[in-house]
Amino acid sequence: MAGFFQTPLGVLILWVLETLAILVPLLIGVAYATYAERKILAAIQLRKGPNVVGWWGLLQAFADAGKMLMKETIIPTGANRVLFLLAPMITFVLAMISWAVIPVNDGWAIAKINVGVLYLFAISSLGVYGIIIAGWASNSKYAFLGALRSAAQMVSYEVSIGFVMVSVLLCVGSLNLNDIVLAQRHIWFCIPLLPMFIVFFISGLAETNRSPFDLPEGESEIVAGFFVEYSAMAFALFFLGEYANMFLMSAMTSILFLGGWLAPFGIAPFTWLPGPIWFILKILLCMFVFIWVRGTFPRYRYDQLMRLGWKVFLPLSLFWLVLTAGFLMAMGWLPQGGA
Amino acid sequence: MITMIAFYVFAAILIASATLVVSARNPVHSVLFLILAFFNAAGLFLLSGAEFLAMILVIVYVGAVAVLFLFVVMMLDVNFVAMREGVQRYAPIGATIGLVLFVELLMVMGAWRYAPSVSVLRAAPAPANVSNTAALGELIYTHDILLFQLAGMVLLVAMIGAIVLTLRDRTISRRQVIARQVARRAETTLELVPMALDAGVPVPSFRRPLPEPVASPEPASHHGALHHGEEH
């Protein structure tokens, strides 16, 4: 059997199986993230939330998916048909392919590439295309305004995310995600790099267009922003893509700052749980904070959003990057060599 | 074998999309094809083992530069007919530049063959156990640090130039000074006046901090609020 998986066909089958093994749980997770979001928001607002479909409303997500499938896909007359349909696909695919490099446990990644962080950064910076193409192809003013807002926002916050990543990389000395997690064996980076951790998380909220930075959607001002013209499965793809991006941002936060699959302390009761469970728990914690933030903070005004990105986070992350580099240099703690 | 197929797929799509960039009727489609071209170029980089360059190409060109292109092109009110007219006029110049570039590329390739000393320069392989990210870092930040700094300075000057050229003093815009808002205290803003019943309000019961002397005149609604208080 082990021999079979060495042959080209076997390798192909193995790839497909590995991909399914990460995508199927991810999609189920996404389905239940929508349920969790509604339940948690309901709890924050002292309501019950979905409780009709299935036990405690547990099948609500599937009922929603079924409803989306039944609906008619409406393409506006003035829309650019090809791009209009391509945009949700781009969003969804980009949200999925990033997971190829995420290590779930030591060496458990589909693609163990040396430039894993750069790959994640590259893919997340592409996410803006799905939105901007959707806004333009809809041929609608609200959609276009949403797309412009989103593009400006994502480009702004990417800069500080980049600096945060570089300061983590300085402490690791490698671009490989596996090495980044292993470098946190002694201390998670969220402790020495606490300000960067906060900047990264908030920028992650902005990057995924989540509340309080959900101006591209801004239902009270521009209806639903870039996907105002979308219906049925095209809409569902945007929706799934957004939640998958939240999962991805949570996974990135746990890998860069919360020690990935590592247990909080390397001692007995904590090490009983296997690595992937810890990783999932950390992702769920981040997801909870995402939803919690949504239930707590009002939406930013657009100029405040831009101010926060360019005038607060950018100088802060740049300063902290120089500080980190200088500190590592002065203490002689710079990681040598590496991949 | 698979590498071979991948190379031809990337190269074919690259050339096809590059052709479509200049021939597409809609400028937005042109930019989207340009993005596709960048992508395939990144794929070619990957195949030649330059994974760092491939990722940087995607991050910088696709993730940032092309977004700005797309921004500008989408917001432009382009007259397609007028744009078509220019093609005839500028075609010879474009063709000439293309030809020069093509010949130069051929010469670069040819140099490997005809000048034996060049091939030594070409073969600057990274040491076996160092990834090309580390090798590139060593080269740029250690050996050629001065050139790198110089390039950074040139970009900085360009950036400052762009800001200076486009900066204009907008006196009418109202700036939000968050520090001043946060520094507001109840004592300077709010006054509690003990009042007998039905005695009226001799002093407006709340006032705002005085505006800065240079700031724009006080909004009319402010006075309205004061008078409103006295009417009671």
Q: What is the pLDDT of residues B63-114, one digit of tens each?
A: 888 888 888 888 777 666 666 677 777 888 888 998 999 999 888 777 766 7
Chain B: nearest CA to A327, how far in angstroms?
A: 18
> Are A304 and B70 in contact (CB < 8 Å)?
no
Q: Is residue B110 part of a domain?
A: no
Count of CA atoms in the C-beta half-sphere (13 A) of A220: 5
Per-residue model confidence as pLDDT tens for chain A (339 residues): 567 777 778 888 888 888 888 889 888 888 888 888 989 999 999 988 888 887 888 888 888 888 888 888 888 887 788 888 888 888 889 888 888 888 888 877 788 788 888 888 888 888 888 888 888 888 888 888 888 888 888 888 888 898 999 998 888 888 888 888 888 888 888 888 888 899 999 998 888 888 788 877 766 677 777 777 787 788 888 888 888 888 999 999 999 888 888 878 777 777 777 878 888 899 999 999 999 998 898 888 888 888 888 888 999 999 999 998 898 888 887 776 544
> Are B130 and A337 in contact (CB < 8 Å)?
yes
Residue B147's pLDDT is 92
Q: Is residue B30 part of a domain?
A: yes
Residue from A200, A203, A87, A180 nearest A135 by CA: A87
Per the CB < 8 A criterion, the answer to whether A118 and A273 are in contact is no
Tell me how far apart the alpha carbons of residues A297 and A294 are, in angstroms, rounded to a whole number: 6
Binning pLDDT at 50, 70 and 90, where does residue B227 land?
very low
Tell me how far apart the alpha carbons of residues B122 and A65 are, in angstroms, rounded to a whole number: 56
Does the pLDDT at position B226 exceed 50? no
> CA of A136: which chain B residue's CA is closest?
B74
Does the pLDDT at position B205 exceed 70? no
Contacts of A339 in chain B (CB under 8 A): 131, 133-134
> Are A151 and B55 in contact (CB < 8 Å)?
no
Rg (CA), chain B: 32
Tell me which of B131, B136, B141 to substitute to probe the interface with A (most A C-beta atoms closer than 10 Å): B131
Does the pLDDT at position B204 exceed 70? no
Amino acid at site A207: E
Count of CA atoms in the C-beta half-sphere (13 A) of B151: 7
Collect all residues from B whose CB is shorter than 8 A from any CB in A: 28, 32, 35, 51-52, 55-56, 58-59, 62-64, 67-68, 70-71, 74-75, 130-131, 133-134, 176
Residue from A154, A150, A187 nearest A168 by CA: A187
Check residue B219 and report its DSSP letter: P
Residue B116's pLDDT is 66
Q: Is residue B27 part of a domain?
A: yes
CB atoms near residue B60 (< 10 Å): 14
- The answer on B71 and B9 residing in a single domain is yes
Tell me which of A9, A126, A153 to substitute to probe the interface with B (most B C-beta atoms closer than 10 Å): A126
Is the complex ipTM higher than 0.90? no
| Residue-wise DSSP of A281-329 | HHHHHHHHHHHHHHHHPPPPPHHHHHHIIIIIIHHHHHHHHHHHHHHHH
Tell me how far apart the alpha carbons of residues A84 and A91 are, in angstroms, rounded to a whole number: 12
Q: Is residue B89 part of a domain?
A: no
Does the pLDDT at position B224 exceed 50? no
> Are B56 and A118 in contact (CB < 8 Å)?
yes
Rounded to the nearest 5°, which phi and psi values hold at B74? -65, -35
Greater confidence (B146 vs A337) lies with B146
Residue from A101, A75, A66, A65 nearest A243 by CA: A65
Tell me how far apart the alpha carbons of residues B48 and B3 are, in angstroms, rounded to a whole number: 10
Residue recorded with tokens 């997340």:
A124
- The answer on B138 and B66 residing in a single domain is no
Tell me which of B74, B177, B178 to substitute to probe the interface with A (most A C-beta atoms closer than 10 Å): B74
Binning pLDDT at 50, 70 and 90, where does residue B6 land?
confident
Tell me how far apart the alpha carbons of residues B132 and A175 are, in angstroms, rounded to a whole number: 11
Chain A: nearest CA to B130, how far in angstroms?
A: 6
Per the CB < 8 A criterion, the answer to whether A240 and A94 are in contact is no
DSSP H helices in chain B: 2-23, 27-47, 51-56, 66-75, 80-114, 116-122, 132-137, 145-166, 178-183, 186-189, 220-231
Q: Is residue B14 part of a domain?
A: yes
CB atoms near residue B2 (< 10 Å): 7
- The answer on B74 and B135 residing in a single domain is no
Tell me how far apart the alpha carbons of residues A278 and A270 are, in angstroms, rounded to a whole number: 9
Cα A120–A121–A123 angle (5° rounding)? Answer: 65
Q: Report pTM.
A: 0.80
Residue B71's pLDDT is 81
- The answer on B9 and B71 residing in a single domain is yes
Q: Please state, in angstroms and as integers, the Cα–Cα distance from residue A127 to each residue in A223, A251, B9, B99, following that order.
A: 21, 16, 24, 37
Contacts of A143 in chain B (CB under 8 A): none
Residue B223's pLDDT is 44
Q: Report how many domains make up chain B.
A: 2
Note the pLDDT tens digit of each residue in A235-290: 888 888 888 888 999 999 999 888 888 878 777 777 777 878 888 899 999 999 99
B106: tokens are 């051929």
- Which residues form the domain of B143? 130-166
Does the pLDDT at position B161 exceed 90? yes
Q: Please state, in angstroms and as integers, the Cα–Cα distance from residue B232 to each residue in A6, B100, B196, following that order.
A: 89, 84, 14
> Are A122 and B62 in contact (CB < 8 Å)?
yes
Residue from A239, A212, A229, A201 nearest A302 by CA: A212
Question: Count of residues for chain B?
Answer: 232
SS3 for A158-225 is HHHHHHHHHHHHHHHCCCCHHHHHHCCCCCCCCCCCHHHHHHHHHHHHHHCCCCCCCCCCCHHHHCCH
Q: What is the CATH number of the domain that holds B39?
A: 1.20.120.1200
> CA of A174: which chain B residue's CA is closest?
B134
Q: Is residue B10 part of a domain?
A: yes
Q: Is residue B115 part of a domain?
A: no
Collect all residues with Cβ–Cβ distance below 8 Å to A186 and sequence separation of at least 6.
Answer: none
Residue from A285, A206, A276 nearest A250 by CA: A285
Chain B: nearest CA to A137, how far in angstroms?
A: 10
Collect all residues with Cβ–Cβ distance below 8 Å to B157 and sequence separation of at least 6.
Answer: none
Contacts of B52 in chain A (CB under 8 A): 115, 118
- The answer on B71 and B3 residing in a single domain is yes
Check residue A226 and report its DSSP letter: G
> CA of B130: which chain A residue's CA is closest?
A339
Residue recorded with tokens 């995310």:
A161
Q: Cis omega before residue A50 (within 30°)?
A: no
> Are B64 and A151 in contact (CB < 8 Å)?
no
> Are B63 and A114 in contact (CB < 8 Å)?
no
- The answer on B137 and B69 residing in a single domain is no
Does the pLDDT at position B16 exceed 70? yes
- The answer on B4 and B64 residing in a single domain is yes
Q: Is residue B36 part of a domain?
A: yes
| Residue-wise DSSP of A101-169 | G--SSTT--S---TTHHHHHHHHHHHHHHHHHHHHHHTT-HHHHHHHHHHHHHHHHHHHHHHHHHHHHH
Contacts of B71 in chain A (CB under 8 A): 132, 148, 151
> Are A119 and B55 in contact (CB < 8 Å)?
yes
Contacts of A158 in chain B (CB under 8 A): 63-64
